[in-house]
Structure 1
Amino acid sequence: MSENVVGQNRQYGTSNLDTSEGTLDDVTGAGAASLRRQIIKLNRRLQHLEEENKERAKREMVMYSITIGFWLLNTWLWFRR
């Protein structure tokens, strides 16, 4: 039965290596610097996405207001006929 599991692991690209989680003490200086750079990049990307989302929300609010105003004006003009 274990041969079957090993065969399945090879089929799906997994291995029987120990996958226990390491602690932060196990991270080397170069690894820590690399992780720090990745976090900084992700933080910048997240800030950029948040700014885009705020701008999109503002544009949507303006468009919704214009659309509602248009329909109110049309309704008022239609009732005046």
Structure 2
Amino acid sequence: MSENVAGQNRQYGTSNIDTSERTSDDMTAADAASLRRQIIKLNRRLQHLEEENKERAKREMVMYSITIGLWLLNSWLWFRRSR
């Protein structure tokens, strides 16, 4: 397994550094950068979902208004016809 990793590291031009040789500061900085990227991605997804939700709410309001208007018109015409 370690031979395969070493071969891949040489293929991509990276050094064969074991993770245990890293300092805790390096790992903390890498973890912080990774978490920051994940938070940014999640924030973008959340903003996109919020925009979609607002658009859907607007569409629903228009459709409900049209539906109620047509129902009232139909009821009024039905009452006029039945007299």
Same fold, judged at TM 0.5 (above): yes
Count of residue correspondences: 56
| 1:72 aligned partner | 72
Residue-by-residue CA offset, 1:14-52 (whole Å, 9 max, x unaligned)? xxxxxxxxxxx8x61011000000000000000000000
Q: Which structure 1 residue ranges, 4+ long, deviate > 3 Å from structure 2?
A: none
Larger Rg: 2
Unmatched tracts of structure 2, length 5 or more:
1-24
Q: Percent identity?
A: 91
Alignment of 1:6-45 (within 5 A): 28-45=28-45
Amino acid paired to 2:68: I
Unmatched tracts of structure 1, length 5 or more:
1-24
Q: Report which of the two has the higher share of helix.
A: 2
Q: TM-score, normalised by structure 2?
A: 0.65
Higher RCO (CA-CA < 8 Å; seq separation 6+): 1
Q: Distance in 2 between matches of 1:31 and 1:79?
A: 70
| 2:59 aligned partner | 59
